[in-house]
Structure 1
């Protein structure tokens, strides 16, 4: 019977490999804790309505502009919005067509104001939505949702992440009366928008 010549790797080699893997893990964890990106923050601070017409069959033609403050809370990470679109909805039904926005670059720990103009084309809506808008404009209070969606990536130094989908919902109450054109007041406290990534 031949003697077993293989006795396994030397104990020192196993120790070095274990220490090396632990160091890589600790380094990766430290980098993640230092550079982990936080979600950007959005808040609507102004609104204007330049057109708001209803027709039969139920079509709504509106042109609106919202001023939105978006903040990058990261001190070491920049944000790139490569594709970003927006529209306005009422009771979860779009009342404006989709508008593509230009790419947006958000420096580290910075705040940017964007003022997209949405609408301009008639959009078909259900009779319930049309009646709800007629009643709300008669009262002078309309609940709207400004939606942003697209793709973003984070950049820390020379490292860029893969693309992530971003979905932002901004719920606002505006003081809108039928026939009024121009700046409309935001009613009540306007909370920050909900950002899902």
Structure 2
């Protein structure tokens, strides 16, 4: 009787050991796969920007029209990205000048190792800012170049395959500094810009 109990105990221990070894092996494979295919941070650059009708009136009201082409790059080898939304703001010295009126495409799908251009249109009429910001903007305009800040809050899903489709949601924050040459009529064109910062 004792030998039967001992035999069952040994059999149970062997089954537990085999199950533990299997789970450990699967976990190791998943870890290696994740390290090999984990999503890398998006890279963003201002490809071009066109400013028109920049004016400052009554020392506090700013009007403008701005079109920006933002280039987004997916550096991952195995991970695809769904861009669900891009919420864009324009700022000057921390003062909000407005939100994007249109973003094209508003949402899209990006494959691995691929760049896509996004057109962002912003405009404002009589946007009220502080007197200091308005004076500084007028001064920069007179000097022939204005420094603006483009803030893009994105909602994305990283998609990779392992035992079916797995998606990871993220909210990267893209921040771009744009120095646009400006003419006396308040218009100007930037043919290329610096790389933007991306934080998660």
TM over 0.5: yes
> Aligned residue for 1:194?
197
Number of residue equivalences: 190
Instruction: Say if 2:37 and 2:79, in contact at 8 Å, map to a contact too.
Output: yes
Aligned residue in 2 for 1:177: 183
**Alignment partners' CA distance in 2, 1:182 and 1:173:** 10
Map of 2:60 onto structure 1: 58
List 4+ stretches of structure 1 deviating above 6 A.
5-9
Q: Return the alpha-carbon distance in structure 1 between the equivalents of residues 190 and 97 of structure 2.
A: 18
Separation in 2, partners of 1:58, 1:24:
63
Aligned residue for 2:129?
A: 125
Match of residue 137 from structure 1: 141
Question: What is the alpha-carbon distance in structure 2 between the residues aligned to residue 79 and residue 12 of structure 1?
Answer: 44
Flag the structure with higher strand content.
2
Q: Scaled by the length of structure 2, what TM-score is found?
A: 0.84
RMSD: 2.3
For residue 107 of structure 2, the aligned residue among 98, 103, 106 is: 103
The 1:141–1:183 alpha-carbon spacing in structure 2 relative to 1, beyond 3 Å, is closer
Provide the secondary structure at the position in 2 that maps to 1:37: coil
**Deviation of residue 56 (structure 1)?**
2.1
Q: Distance in 1 between matches of 2:74 and 2:151?
A: 18
Instruction: Name the SS for the 1:76 alignment partner.
Output: coil
Counterpart contact for 1:63–1:119, Cα < 8 Å:
yes
- TM-score with structure 1 setting the length: 0.85
Give the unaligned 5+ runs of structure 2: none
* Bigger share in helix: 2
For structure 1, the residue ranges without an aligned partner over 5 or more in a row are none
2:173 is aligned to 167
Partner of 1:36: 38
